[in-house]
């Protein structure tokens, strides 16, 4: 099967099946991080064997998979081995070489495709895509300009004062707020572009955000789509800190609009798999008031981790279903939830000494679900795990979340 082949009739890969050669139904993932680990857990629960391609010997996903192919992401031998082992393949991190997905797609169904991953990997192409489907999705992105050359920098300095104050973002390889510089003046813009290595960037107008949210959509080979209700996200220093997932987490009209927009963005891309679309909620009455699309992640997302414990199908279950061409049931959230991200910071006390977090107290709280990713070394800013709190009602979930956040000295507490 090659890129562009009509996959709408992709036959299902049934879990637990064994082919004529005695090979067990196996799903593969490029990348060995925590998203891969949770994907592997979901696939294995259903009865699949799993294979992870990841250069690191001790990766979160590699540690729990049936097969670990320990090569570089673009190693031809490793990729051939992955294709040989697996009936369908996905990816778990954004900066996977799109070429690797293209190579795999020559012989195996790959979801999402190299083409859509390449769009999401480049803010310039991503924004062009959002603009192209704005009529359909009903939302636009923040006003921006592309800066790839000194002439474009000059033009923006001369003519786009409307974009200041703004955020200069590298077109590629940005995540968790990395590769971004906030600028107030034309001079600061020039300095920031130099600081970022004069690589391709976008300058985005700084918008007065009242909130941020994201929507997870799963789309099958046949175009069927299901989605979760939007979750409201709180970022601290550019990194997701808290996700609020319960009814009333945001105004219903905005929630509906975000869901519809995410679904139309997925359709417009011909997307297969789980897609996360992030939105800004901008102060009403301001120039760009309402809902603005920020960016998309071509995979399950940190803001959807609560679905493991609070929904009858998680974002990882849906990724498995979508790529294996199984039915996509509409997921139902059965409990209100708050997710707290656990960065490596939690493993250090106020004087910078390593310590074991107080799990004894945290785990004694009702409705806490601790997920640690199996990373051996805690580092400041490193995603080590998350804690989801579920409960019978929003008030009790908030009470427990506040208690847990305080026990672990987590940021974002004032917002819970």
What is the contact surface with Mg ion in residues (CB under 5 A)? 278
Per CB under 6 A, contacts with ligand ATP among 351-370 are none
What is the enclosing helix (H) or strand (E) of 319? helix 315-323
What is the enclosing helix (H) or strand (E) of 158? helix 150-159
Candidate residues 177, 270, 344, 374; the one interacting with ligand ATP per rule CB under 6 A:
177
Per CB under 6 A, contacts with ligand ATP among 264-293 are 278
Minimal distance, residue 206 CB to ligand ATP, in Å: 5
Cβ count within 10 A of residue 282: 19
In terms of Cβ atoms closer than 10 Å to its own Cβ (0-12, 13-18, 19+), residue 351 is exposed
CA gap 144, 166 in Å, rounded: 9
Quick note: the x/- pattern for ligand ATP over 289-318, rule CB under 6 A, is: -----xx-----------------------
126 binds ligand ATP (CB under 6 A): no
Residue 174 binds what, of ligand ATP, Mg ion, none (CB under 5 to 8 Å, by partner type)? ligand ATP
CA gap 176, 170 in Å, rounded: 12
Minimal distance, residue 212 CB to ligand ATP, in Å: 5
Strand-pair category, 231-236 with 239-245:
antiparallel
104 binds ligand ATP (CB under 6 A): no
Nearest Cα to Cα of residue 193 among 206, 179, 205, 207: 179
Contact between 310 and 331 (Cβ < 8 Å): no
Q: Return the range that interacts with ligand ATP (CB under 6 A); candidates 26-34, 85-93, 151-159, 176-184.
A: 176-184
Quick note: the x/- pattern for ligand ATP over 215-254, rule CB under 6 A, is: --------------------x--x----------------
Per CB under 6 A, contacts with ligand ATP among 149-168 are 167
CA gap 245, 230 in Å, rounded: 8
* 181: Cβ contacts below 8 Å, ≥ 6 apart: 167, 168, 192, 195, 196
Q: Which is nearer to ligand ATP, 108 or 386 (CB)?
A: 386
Candidate residues 54, 204, 309, 317; the one interacting with ligand ATP per rule CB under 6 A:
204
Angle between helices 186-195 and 150-159 (to 10 degrees): 160
Mapped onto helix, strand or coil, the DSSP state of residue 359 is: helix
Residue 176 binds what, of ligand ATP, Mg ion, none (CB under 5 to 8 Å, by partner type)? ligand ATP
Mapped onto helix, strand or coil, the DSSP state of residue 192 is: helix
176 binds ligand ATP (CB under 6 A): yes
Q: Which is nearer to ligand ATP, 104 or 269 (CB)?
A: 269
CA gap 44, 26 in Å, rounded: 9
Q: Which is nearer to Mg ion, 190 or 297 (CB)?
A: 297
Cβ count within 10 A of residue 409: 14
Contact between 301 and 275 (Cβ < 8 Å): no
Size of site (CB under 6 A) for ligand ATP: 19
Candidate residues 142, 261, 293, 324; the one interacting with ligand ATP per rule CB under 6 A:
142
Minimal distance, residue 302 CB to ligand ATP, in Å: 8
Binding stretches for ligand ATP (CB under 6 A): 142, 167, 169, 174-178, 204-207, 209, 212, 235, 238, 278, 294-295
């Amino acid at each position: 099967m090659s890129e562009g082949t009509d996959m709408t009739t992709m036959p299902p890969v049934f879990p637990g099946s064994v082919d004529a050669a005695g090979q067990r139904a196996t799903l593969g993932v490029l990348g060995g991080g925590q998203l891969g680990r949770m994907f592997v857990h979901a696939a294995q629960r259903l009865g699949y064997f799993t294979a992870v391609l990841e250069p690191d010997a001790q990766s979160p996903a590699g540690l729990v998979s049936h097969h670990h192919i320990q090569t570089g992401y673009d190693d031809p031998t490793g990729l051939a081995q992955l294709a040989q082992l697996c009936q369908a393949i996905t990816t778990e991190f954004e900066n996977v070489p799109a070429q690797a997905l293209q190579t795999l797609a020559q012989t195996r169904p790959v979801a999402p495709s190299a083409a859509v991953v390449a769009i999401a990997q480049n803010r310039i192409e991503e924004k062009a895509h959002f603009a192209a489907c704005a009529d359909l999705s009903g939302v636009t992105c923040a006003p921006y300009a592309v800066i790839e050359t000194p002439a474009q920098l000059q033009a923006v300095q001369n003519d786009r004062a409307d974009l200041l104050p703004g955020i200069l973002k590298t077109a590629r390889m940005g995540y968790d707020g990395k590769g971004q510089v906030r600028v107030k003046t034309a001079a600061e813009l020039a300095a920031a572009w130099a600081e970022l290595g004069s690589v391709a960037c976008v300058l985005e107008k700084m918008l007065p955000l009242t909130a941020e949210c994201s929507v997870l959509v799963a789309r099958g080979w046949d175009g069927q789509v299901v989605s979760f209700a939007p979750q409201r996200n709180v970022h601290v220093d550019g990194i997701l800190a808290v996700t609020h997932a319960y009814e009333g987490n945001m105004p219903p009209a905005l929630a509906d609009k975000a869901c519809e927009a995410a679904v139309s963005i997925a359709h417009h891309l011909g997307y297969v798999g789980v897609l996360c679309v992030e939105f800004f909620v901008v102060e009403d009455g301001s120039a760009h008031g309402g809902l603005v699309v920020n960016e998309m992640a071509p995979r399950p997302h940190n803001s959807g981790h609560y679905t493991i414990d609070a929904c009858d199908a998680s974002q990882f279950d849906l990724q498995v279903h979508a790529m294996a061409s199984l039915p996509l049931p509409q997921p139902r959230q059965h409990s209100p939830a708050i997710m707290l991200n656990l960065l490596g910071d939690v493993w250090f006390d106020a004087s910078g000494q390593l310590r074991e977090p107080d799990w004894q107290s945290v785990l004694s709280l009702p409705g806490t679900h601790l997920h640690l990713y199996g990373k051996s070394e805690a580092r400041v800013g490193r995603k080590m795990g998350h804690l989801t709190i579920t409960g019978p009602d929003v008030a009790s979930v908030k009470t427990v979340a506040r208690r847990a956040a305080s026990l672990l000295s987590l940021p974002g507490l004032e917002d819970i």
